[in-house]
Amino acid sequence: MEQQEVKHKRRVRYSGTHPKRFEEKYKEHNPEKYADTVAKVISKGSTPAGMHIPIMVQEILDFLQIKPGQKGLDATLGYGGHSGEMLKCLEGRGHLYALDADPIESVKTKERLKKKGFGPEILTVKLLNFADVDQILPESGQFDFVLADLGLSSMQIDNPERGFSFKFDGPLDLRLNPEQGVPAWQRLKEMSRDEMIGMMVTNGDEPYAEQIARTILSYRKKGRKIETTFQLKQAIEDALAFLPEEGKKEAVKKSCQRTFQALRIDVNSEYEVLESFMEKLPDILAPGGRAAILTFHSGEDRIVKKAFKRFYNEGVYAEVAKDVVRPSAEECVRNSRAHSTKMRWAIKA
């Protein structure tokens, strides 16, 4: 039988010296192939597009004290940086379960870890929101160690189609799982003034919540759409037009960050999801099991701190972190996205 000749597939060409559209940016889609570029970007304290640098790896491993043969859970798989390091500690014995609500990135991460030698014999990846962590117990049994990194993955931020960043124009979606729930632009259409203000204050500590809500409602009244990231950014700029020119640009940037965060938390019911996980955490931990949680803003940290304290007082946990653990100054220089990170931990009685 005559073999068909496999034609070499050339990379799509683009106009100019650099690709402008995300789908043309070949390095962002396969960062592992461009080690020199990745090293250069990291050396400048930035995260290479299409990648995610795991935060506080050493502090997490020092606390979890993973031993070969143990069973663990990465409740928020993401890019798989933390999972990869925990799998190394198992030395081919034991098992790691990993959960992720994102059907797009979890498939890529599973394949990435498989190429590094972590196949189904030692790693099980489940497309599951960590609020439903109890659903895997019949299969997995209790865990010796658990990690939950509550931060958004850089790959999600870098993809304009996901709508997580106001730095790129794209649909104002913000869903971790684009196949479930309603996108952020639809939520903005449905919210009342009070709901909008409450969302921005509770989820983002936004000082200009009233002005931003008023502007969004004014847009709605005039039939102006807010369905893309740049349209929301423009609405925030218009809302803050009253501020003095000096410092306005920085104020708009921070309000954009807080508003996008607040919307993302709302769209994905992140506080309710975290509360559900914290309630179920003691049941999934084996006696003596260790759990570490990374939080990135005050709302998350309050929920984790409160749950750990309550279960400690009830005798469920033998020990909990009295103070938060922070990333080192060196790590914050290497990775600017580490600045706001707090780690809390607990040990099951």
| Residue 5 belongs to some domain of the structure | no
| Residue 164 belongs to some domain of the structure | no
| Residue 315 belongs to some domain of the structure | yes
pLDDT of residue 213: 97
Both 277 and 201 in one domain: the answer is no
pLDDT of residue 161: 76
- CB-based burial label for 332 (10 Å; 0-12, 13-18, 19+): middle
Q: Say how many residues make up the chain.
A: 349
Q: How many domains does the chain have?
A: 2
pLDDT of residue 11: 52
Both 202 and 336 in one domain: the answer is no
Please tell me the pTM assigned to this model.
0.81
| Residue 12 belongs to some domain of the structure | no
pLDDT of residue 131: 95
Last residue of a domain, one of 246, 267, 288: 267
Which residue, 150, 152, 173, is CA-closest to 278? 150
| Residue 73 belongs to some domain of the structure | yes
Which residue, 348, 346, 347, 329, is CA-closest to 293? 346
Helix (H) or strand (E) holding 289: strand 285-295
pLDDT of residue 12: 53
CATH number, domain of 62, equals 3.40.50.150
Both 78 and 224 in one domain: the answer is no
| Residue 9 belongs to some domain of the structure | no
Last residue of a domain, one of 267, 300, 329: 267
| Residue 215 belongs to some domain of the structure | yes
Both 276 and 263 in one domain: the answer is no
pLDDT in tens, the chain (349 residues): 444 444 445 555 555 555 555 555 545 545 555 555 545 544 444 444 555 689 999 999 999 999 999 999 999 998 899 999 999 999 999 999 999 988 888 898 999 999 999 999 999 999 999 999 999 999 999 999 999 999 876 666 677 777 778 888 999 999 988 888 899 999 999 999 999 999 999 999 999 999 999 999 999 999 999 999 999 999 999 999 999 999 999 999 999 999 999 999 999 999 999 999 999 999 999 999 999 999 998 899 999 999 999 999 999 999 999 999 999 999 998 888 888 899 999 999 9
Q: Is 161 helix (H, G, I), strand (E, B) or coil?
A: helix
Both 205 and 343 in one domain: the answer is no
Q: How far, CA to CA in Å, does 207 sit from each of 15, 100, 199, 210, 339?
A: 43, 32, 12, 8, 21
Please state, in angstroms and rounded to a whole number, the distance separating the CA atoms of residues 95 and 165: 35
Both 251 and 284 in one domain: the answer is no
Both 65 and 150 in one domain: the answer is yes
Last residue of a domain, one of 244, 267, 290: 267
Both 135 and 183 in one domain: the answer is no
Both 142 and 276 in one domain: the answer is yes
Structural domain boundaries, residue 202? 177-267
Both 222 and 299 in one domain: the answer is no
Both 258 and 280 in one domain: the answer is no
Q: How far, CA to CA in Å, does 25 sit from each of 104, 156, 159, 227, 249?
A: 18, 15, 11, 24, 28
| Residue 4 belongs to some domain of the structure | no
Alpha helix (H) residue ranges in 13-80: 26-29, 35-43, 57-64
pLDDT of residue 113: 94
CATH number, domain of 181, equals 1.10.150
Place of tokens 């930035």: 46
Both 340 and 199 in one domain: the answer is no
